[in-house]
Amino acid sequence: MSADSPLSQIRKIDTRRSAPFATIFMIGLTLLIFYWFFRGGSFRLYASIFFGLYFITRQIWVSVLLIGIIQNIAFLPLHFIWLKMSTSMQSFEDEIDAIKAPEEQYIVFQQKVKKGDFAASFYIFSFIVNAIAFFSAGRVFLIDFYTKNLDPKLIYSFIPYPEYPLQGELFKFPFYKVTGTTAINWQYIFFFWLSITIFFAVLRLLWRFLKLFLSTNPSVLKFRIGYNRILLAVGGVGLTILILSTILLRHLPTQFSFTWLIVDLSHQNTPMNFITAVGTFLTTLMAGYKHNSIASTNLRQGGVSEEVIEKIFRDKMRQSLSNGLLLGAGAFFITNQIPSAFELSVAMFELLYIISPYTFDRFLVQVANKSSTKTAVATSETAPAVTTESSEKK
């Protein structure tokens, strides 16, 4: 008898078991947020927050920056839950990614939700909330409230109506303009990259030769792990680094002049378009690196060989690089058609994401670790008592 296909096995999953209350609550909350969004509630909330901040600061550009910070603070509970469920969420994402056919991915996803998988339900909820937040915040800056008076119906009645003309539409930040460059000789560039290639090749050959003698030395193993991390980090984007560094060496800046880059947030600005595109590229690349690093750690804990991990990581980083270039180019052409206030808000979100490992995420990790430690201690304290009680009953 022929074995069932993966798709037919998935369809045989029994879905009659009722979902847990937490999952039902999450799905209901998601539907409620959807209804609130299509009724214009999220847009009105963001518009009210923005003009409430403007009433306090009297500066458009300050309000744009503050709304990004407030959103990140408001989303801390969501990030904390995601962090606490990081193992479940990673397993869920890896399981979906392992299925190549979109039809089977949808069926597995659907079955998990029906079975009451909280990770799947929370994944949907988190994605929708973040998408609504980003869309609503961006939509606020796309309406023309600069030259036309704001419709009072767009904000809550208790928010003071802004006085016209609006103040603080010009955003200024320090900028260094390149006024002189020099070109490094092609011969030196060639020897530079040849030296780097030989250096890493010699390290790899030495390790292969001395692996049998030094594989148990903790100091050598620590150096080897650091060396592997460097290779994994640059392996997927090596060609891109080579091209960009060559361009830089052929146009090496030698003179700079300080200036203030002045951006009118009510109009399109090409330098801001470029900054947004670069920020989008770096954010996508960083997100891909974080995700791929976690996946590599899980594979390493599962006993997968370093050679296989390196290959998978390189392939994933190449995909992240392609996504970054595509999204960066798309961000440039899209923002080239809209006011710069939207770009400033996007740039703020991207900056907060890039520094999050050293700010908000650092705080959440500490809280999560303390919570896990308390849970582990409580479990260890109650386990002997339960064992003793059960032995007495016997």
Task: Count Cβ neighbours within 10 Å for each residue of 232-248 and write b for 16 or more, e otherwise.
Answer: beebbbeebeeeeebee
E strand or H helix that includes residue 178: strand 170-182
Return the minimum-mean-pLDDT range out of 1-15, 49-63, 285-299. 1-15
Query: How many CA within 13 A on the CB side of residue 78?
Result: 16
**Is the pLDDT assigned to residue 16 strictly greater than 70?**
no
For residue 9, what pLDDT is reported? Answer: 45
For residue 212, what pLDDT is reported? Answer: 59
Average pLDDT over residues 365-392: 53
For residue 230, what pLDDT is reported? Answer: 61
Q: How far apart are CA 51 and CA 341, in angstroms?
A: 14
**Is the pLDDT assigned to residue 117 strictly greater than 80?**
no
Confidence of residue 62 (pLDDT cuts 50, 70, 90): very high
For residue 305, what pLDDT is reported? Answer: 75
Query: How many CA within 13 A on the CB side of residue 67?
Result: 29
**Is the pLDDT assigned to residue 267 strictly greater than 70?**
yes
Return the minimum-mean-pLDDT range out of 59-68, 82-91, 375-384. 375-384
> With contact defined as beta carbons under 8 Å apart, do 48 and 155 qualify?
yes
Q: How far apart are CA 353 and CA 183, in angstroms?
A: 35
**Is the pLDDT assigned to residue 6 strictly greater than 50?**
no
β-bridge partners, 178: 256
For residue 13, what pLDDT is reported? Answer: 42
Distances (CA, A) of 308 to 39, 288, 293: 50, 18, 14
Confidence of residue 76 (pLDDT cuts 50, 70, 90): confident
Coil, helix or strand for 266? coil
Confidence of residue 158 (pLDDT cuts 50, 70, 90): very high
Return the DSSP state at 309: H
Written as six digits, the tokens of 2 are: 């022929």
Return the DSSP state at 303: T
Please choose, from the candidates 181, 296, 158, the residue with its C-alpha nearest in 3D space to the C-alpha of residue 236: 296
Average pLDDT over residues 156-164: 91
User: To the nearest whole number, what is the mean pLDDT of the chain?
Assistant: 76
Please choose, from the candidates 87, 99, 86, 101, the residue with its C-alpha nearest in 3D space to the C-alpha of residue 302: 87
Q: How far apart are CA 200 and CA 188, in angstroms?
A: 19
Q: How far apart are CA 314 and CA 317, in angstroms?
A: 5
Q: How far apart are CA 364 and CA 357, in angstroms?
A: 10
